[in-house]
Structure formats: structure tokens, C-alpha cells
Structure 1
Amino acid sequence: MSKSIPVLILCGGKGTRLREETEFRPKPIIQVGDRPIIWHIMKTYSHYGYKNFMLCLGYKGEVIREYFYNYDWNHNDIVLDLGSKEVRKVGNGNDEADWKIWMIDTGQETMTGGRLKRMAPYLRQMDSDIFMATYGDGVCNVNIDELVKFHHSHGKLATVTAVRPPSRFGELVIEDAAVNVFKEKPQTSEGWINGGYFVMHRKVLDLIEGDDTVFEATPLKTLAALGELVVYQHNGFWQCMDTYRELEHLNKLCANGRGAWQVWNHLDR
């Protein structure tokens, strides 16, 4: 059964550090194994029952629209009647038939905070005051059920998942499970960093001014200063796809059957 909390995925960036691929397609649609990385991200949430996805589109968003619109055609065995043009799926179909995917244009130049802010009218249509959000270029084997449970347990406005990959991401200074300082992309960093996979109350959107707001700057810093940003520390697998080397690494893990983020293929959670 699908759970009511919607999942926002930021898909609008230009991915300039992966120019080899993003010149032709948006980064979330770049394939890892036999599916785009955004599919892997969505599949993780779906594994835990969260199947209401809201994609914040921007750069080459039409490619993402076309991929999902033609999903059945590309990923099922079909019978095509050339005369009537009737298409019929055969076989077992796919496990994604119950996904609901909102594909919303949030602008070509909009920053991460602005993209979230633009989703406010759609979030108001949801049954839940809580929503989840992540980036469209990072895979993780975080237990989504435990993450949501943790968020509800502390009563604060926002939870961010902290991970331990190499530096160059947003550094979290943590004390007693609370985020005291949020530093985005320091020159050097050790310890925990921002891995995305947020759980937030809709009130967080009130801290975002508009399209030019970088979510990782003022909004997250304000939440930390107010004591409303709490961290969920994830010691497991996390990997972003910022560079071609990282793309190759993820594909190698898939080829070797070592995709630790592919929790849907595991017998246990």
C-alpha cells in the first residue's frame, strides 16, 4: 500500500561537472545499469511504500517527461497491431505501475530552494503536512521507514540525512543529534556531510524567499540556528554522481552485482 508522504526530487540542475553526459540529457536521466539514476532513487522510496513522486523539473525536463510517459513502451514486452496502432502489454509487466509521478516545471535557472518553493501549491493538495525531498543524482541505502520514524520522534521542522563520503559537500556540525551549524561545501571537510534524503514540514517552505534562494544556504542555516534541523546519521552506503568517474563507479557496482543501494533486490531491509 502506498504511504501518503510525497517525495520531492530535485531534477532541474544543469549538471555542468558531468558535461560529457548532460550536454544531451538532464543528469537524473543518465543511466546507471539499465535504468536512469532517478529510477534507482524512486525505487528505493517505493520499496518502503512511498510511491507519490513530485519531480522538480528544469534543464531538459522534457527528456524526463518523455522517459516516464513512454515507460511501459520501453520496459515491457508488448504486442503492436500496426493496423489499429493498438498496443497491449504482455507478460508480467513492471512493479512501477502504481507509481504516481507529478512532473512540474520549476524553471530553467531556479535554485534548489526556489524549486521546492514552487512545489508549495501542489503540496497543499496532499493529505500530509510532511514531505520528503532529495536530489536527483545520489543513491543511498538509508532505511526510509526508520528515517520517517525518527523525524516524527523529535518534533522539529526538518530532518537531514548525514552520510560519510569524501569531503566537498555540506558539512554538518552535530551535537546530541541536533545540527548546530550548517556549512555548505567547505574547502576541506571531515566527518558527516549533507546526503540529502530530507523529511520536512511544509512550514519549511516559508523560509524560502523565491527562485534565487539556495536551499542549502539561508533556509538550512536558519533552521539550524533555530534548533529546528535534526540529523539522521546514516552509516551505510551513499554515493552521488557529480562526475564521470562517479558514474563509472556506480555502473561498475551494478555490473558486479554490488549495488548496495538496490534494497529492492535484497531479501532483508
Structure 2
Amino acid sequence: MKAVILAGGLGTRISEESHLRPKPMIEIGGKPILWHIMKIYGAHNITEFVICCGYRGYQIKEYFANYFLHMSDVTIDMSQNSMEVHQRYAEPWKVTLVDTGADTQTGGRLRRVRDHLDGTFCLTYGDGVTDLNITNVVDFHRSQKVEATITAVQPMGRFGSLEIGNNRVTHFLEKPRGDGRWVSGGFFVCEPSMIDRISGDADNLEGAPMEGLAADGQLAVWKHDGFWHSMDTLRDKENLERLWASKQPPWKLWK
């Protein structure tokens, strides 16, 4: 099974970082968040990826082209124009990098990689991490016999919550759940047939294509009560950095 990662957006809400590099290449703990996402899938034995590049996509290509250089110690002999890689290590990944256009919307990006997909596939954005059991979601999707399954999450609130009685705070929650509504967590399992619902580059994935699937009863939902965190803003990045520094980041499903 392959995982498609949408990695071509501008990331305007985290422009402090994304003006220099594509959002999926913004680092958490010294590694691009794209690497973290791929490690999550790898923990569920999904090791083939199709990455939809766009804005500054050449930086993503260069990262994988020079993966040994990023991940290993090296000795560079300038006089001999040679490089020796020490403790050579690489992930067991097969990565297809596709330039899907600078201005293409999310649905259009998926449509452009249709030829690289030959069966049920996973799909996500390049800016969110989770402890989702992807294996269970894939099994659930297949049992539902639908064109797509969406993961629903309840994100944490942005502000602390107060419970008040008799002019006194009776309970304080630093970051409670939001308003109780379920939102898209951005992790999907899909059949290639759902791509036929995307008309062109201007289509957003979670617009008409998903609305059409829902109207036809072809969009199942998996409710995830565990950890989920997107990286939309600099504050989000800082939160993820703190979690990674704790040595027990909730999304680290690999050893």
C-alpha cells in the first residue's frame, strides 16, 4: 500500500518559517515534519510514498536525494572530490516525488498523481502528526466497502478553560477539548475511484469531492480519540518541539 502526502502548499499561516522552505520541511526536533509523518506510516509497514510537491518542491527533492548526507556522518576529501559515508543508514522507503504545480489546490494535486496509484491508498497532508492506528483504519475502511474513509478528531482548545461558581474558579483546564465537535484530522484511506470526482487543479480535496462522497454514502468516518496535532502556526511548531523534547512525543510510534 502507498501513502500520498500533499506537500505543495504555501503555509501562509506559518510564514515565519515557510518563506524560506515548504511547510513540510519545517523541522521538529531537527527533522522535517514530513519525515515524522513518514515514520508514522512506516511504523504500520507502509513504506511507499507519493509526495505531491509544489511551492519550493525542489527542496523536498534535494532532501531525499541527499538523504545519506542528512542522516549520516561523512568525510569529505576536498582535494580528491570524494565523500565517504560512515554508519550508512537509510529508511526502507520508496519515495516518488511529483511536481504537481505551484498553484494547484489539494484535490488537483491528488488528481495529478493518479497514474502512480494502483489500489487502496492512504492520504494525508504534510503538516500533522498523530498516534492514530493506521492499520486499524485501513482494515475498517475495507470492511465498509466505501470509496474513502476520513479520520475525525477533536482538537484541543486554544485557550485555558475556567469552571466558575460563586465568584470563584472551581476548576482550571489548561488546554481542554474544543467545543465537542468532530473535525477532519486529515488522515484518509481511499480508493483510486474517488479521484474521478476531482475535476481539475482548482478543486480542494475537502470541498466538492468529499461533499460528493458524503452525499452518495461513500465516505466512512473513523473517530480518533487519541493524540492529533497540526502545525498551522509558529505556536503549533513550538508546542510540537516541546513535546519532542519531552522524550515521549505521543506520535513517536517507532523505536
Distance 1:30 1:238 in 2: 18
Q: How many Å apart are 1:83 and its aligned residue? A: 4.3
Residue 29 (structure 2) pairs with residue 27 (structure 1): no
Q: Does 1:154 align with 2:148?
A: no
Q: For the Cα contact (< 8 Å) 1:167–1:193, is it kept in 2?
A: no
1:189: how far off? 5.7
Change in CA separation of 1:238 and 1:69 when aligned onto 2, cut-off 3 Å? same
Report the AA paired with residue 111 of structure 1. Q
The residue type equivalent to 1:197 in the other structure is: F
Identity of aligned residues (%): 43
1-structure distance, mates of 2:51, 2:109: 10
Q: In the alignment, what sits opposite 1:205?
A: 195
In the other structure, the counterpart of 1:46 is 42
Name the CA shift for 1:95/1:233 in 2 (closer, same or farther; >3 Å).
farther
Q: Structure 1 95/48 Cα, relative in aligned 2: closer, same or farther at 3 Å?
A: farther
Alpha-carbon RMSD = 1.6
Cα deviations across residues 100-140 of structure 1 (Å, max 9, x unaligned)? 111100001100000000011222xx4xx211100000001
1:80 aligns with 2:76: yes
C-alpha distance in structure 2 between counterparts of 1:189 and 1:204, whole Å: 31
CA distance in 2: counterparts of 1:107 and 1:90, whole angstroms: 37
2: distance between equivalents of 1:95 and 1:261? 20
Give 1:244-263 correspondences, 5 Å limit: 244-263=234-253
Residue number among 57, 60, 73 corresponding to 1:61 in the alignment? 57
Matched, 1:138 2:134: no
Question: Which runs of structure 2 are paired with 1:235-246 in the superposition (5 Å)?
Answer: 235-246=225-236
Residue-pair matches, total: 236
TM-score, scaled relative to structure 1: 0.84
Change (3 A) 1:47 1:60: same
Counterpart of 1:99 in structure 2 is: 93
Partner of 2:206: helix, strand, or coil? Answer: coil
Corresponding letter in the other structure for 1:260: P
Q: Which residue of structure 2 lines up, in the alignment, with residue 122 of structure 1?
A: 116
Indicate whether 1:12 and 2:8 are aligned.
yes
Normalised TM-score (structure 2) = 0.88
State the distance in 2 between where 1:99 and 1:118 align: 21
Unaligned runs of 5+ in 1: 169-187
Equivalent residue, structure 1, for 2:204: 214
Q: Tell me the CA shift for residue 81 of structure 1.
A: 3.8
Unaligned 5+ residue runs, structure 2?
Answer: 159-177
Deviation at 1:78, TM superposition (A): 2.2
Q: Runs of at least 4 residues of structure 1 off by over 6 A?
A: none
